[in-house]
Chain A
Amino acid sequence: MVVWTDFEKATIQDIFAKADYDVIGPQALARCLIVYPWTQRYFAKFGNLYNAAAILGNPMVAAHGKTVLRGLELAVKNMDNIKATYADLSVLHSEKLHVDPDNFRLLADCLTIVVAAQMGAGFTPEVQAAFQKFIAVAVSALGRQYH
């Protein structure tokens, strides 16, 4: 089981308490689609993803970015039990959505960059370490029910 120090727990709660989900979620997903363009294959129904401007302005991307971040909030609220919390989501991504689990890491990396850009100097090395640990656990839990 993952062990969290008090600092790590406090840091994660703090980041997500201050994060504007309506901004961070859309930005992270848009970045993922722009920086790693093959990920667009999962969003064929989202309409115009033709270039960065289209992606950044696409309302379905924005809505889905918020959905993803709300999913991440589940992990924030259940840090001691992320694997169990994500069991259903993992099954969904594997069996229904057929998402290659490598993509979770790409989205996680983009989210890290968005949070870093927002927090600036506040995203210290220790905060980065806590955030990346949390994200790594979430990514691992999402891949856990794949077979």
Chain B
Amino acid sequence: MVQWSDSERKTIASVWDKINIDEIGPQTLARVLVVYPWTQRYFGAFGDLSCASAIMGNPKVSEHGKTVLKALEKAVKNVDNIKTTYAQLSQLHCEKLNVDPDNFKLLADCLSIVIATNFGPAFNPAVQSTWQQKLLSVVVAALTSRYF
């Protein structure tokens, strides 16, 4: 089981407190679709994804970005139990959505970048260690855990 120190728990809570899901979610998903264009294949029903500005203005992308970040909140509020918390989501992504699990890492990377652009130097190395290297890695692993 993943062990979290008190300071890591505080860091995660404090980063999450400052995150506006309605902004960060859409920005993150839009970036994934722009920077890693092959991910657009999962969103055939989303309408116009023909260029960066279309993606960034697309309301379905925006909605789905918020959905993804709301799901991340479950991990943030259950850090001691992320694998179980995400068991069903993992099955959903594998069996129903057929998402290649490599893409989880891409989304995690874009989220870290969005946080860095929004927080600036406050996203210091210690925060990056806890948030990106540890929390997001655990999340990605949990999402991959029910794949076979």
Residues in chain A within 8 A of chain B (CB atoms): 30-31, 34-36, 52, 55-56, 109, 112-113, 116-121, 123-126, 128-129, 132
CB contact under 8 A between A126 and B34, given known A116-B113, A119-B117: yes
Q: In the bound complex, do residue B31 and residue A31 qualify as a contact, i.e. CB atoms below 8 Å apart?
A: no
A128 engages B126 (CB within 8 Å): no
Residues of A within 8 A of B123 (CB): 113, 117
Q: What is the CA–CA distance of A125 and B120 in the complex, to the nearest angstrom? A: 16
Q: Which of A35, A56, A124, A129 has a CB less than 8 Å from the CB of B128?
A: A35
Residues of A within 8 A of B35 (CB): 125, 128-129, 132
8 other contacts beyond A56-B125, A113-B123, A125-B34, with CB at 8 A cut-off?
Answer: A35-B132, A55-B125, A113-B112, A116-B116, A116-B117, A117-B123, A125-B30, A128-B113
Cβ of B71 < 8 Å from any Cβ of A?
A: no
Interface residue? B109 (CB, 8 A): yes
Residues of chain A within 8 A (CB-CB) of B31 are 125, 128
Q: Do most interface residues of chain B lie in helix, strand or loop, or is the interface mixed?
A: helix
User: Which residues of B94-141 are within 8 A (CB) of A?
Assistant: 109, 112-113, 116-121, 123, 125-126, 128-129, 132-133
**Residue in chain B with minimal CB distance to A133:** B35
* Assembled-state Cα–Cα distance A125/B114 (Å): 9
What chain A residues lie within 8 Å of B112 (beta carbons)?
113
Closest to B123 in A: A117
- Looking across the interface, which residue of chain B has its beta carbon closest to that of A128? B35
- Do B34 and A129 touch across chains, with their CB atoms under 8 A apart? yes
Q: Which chain A residue shows the least CB distance to B114?
A: A116
Which of A35, A36, A56, A118 has the most B CB atoms < 10 Å from its CB? A35
Query: Would you call B52 an interface residue if the criterion is a C-beta within 8 Å of the partner chain's C-beta atoms?
Result: yes
B117: contacting residue among A52, A109, A123, CB under 8 A: A123
Q: With an 8 A cutoff between CB atoms, is B12 at the interface?
A: no
Contact residues in A for B118 (Cβ distance below 8 Å): 120
**Given A52-B126, A113-B128, are A120 and B30 also a contact pair (CB < 8 Å)?**
no
B21 interfacial by beta-carbon distance below 8 Å: no
Q: Write out the residue numbers on chain B whose beta carbons fall within 8 Å of the beta carbon of A128.
A: 31, 34-35, 113
Q: Please state if A117 and B117 are interface contacts (CB–CB under 8 Å).
A: yes
Q: Is there contact, CB below 8 Å, between A35 and B125? A: yes
Q: Which of B52, B117, B126, B133 contacts A121 (CB 8 A)?
A: B117
* Closest A-B pairs by Cβ, 5 of them: A125-B34, A116-B116, A34-B125, A117-B116, A129-B35
Could you give 7 example pairs across A and B, Cβ below 8 Å?
A113-B132, A116-B113, A116-B116, A117-B121, A120-B118, A126-B52, A128-B113
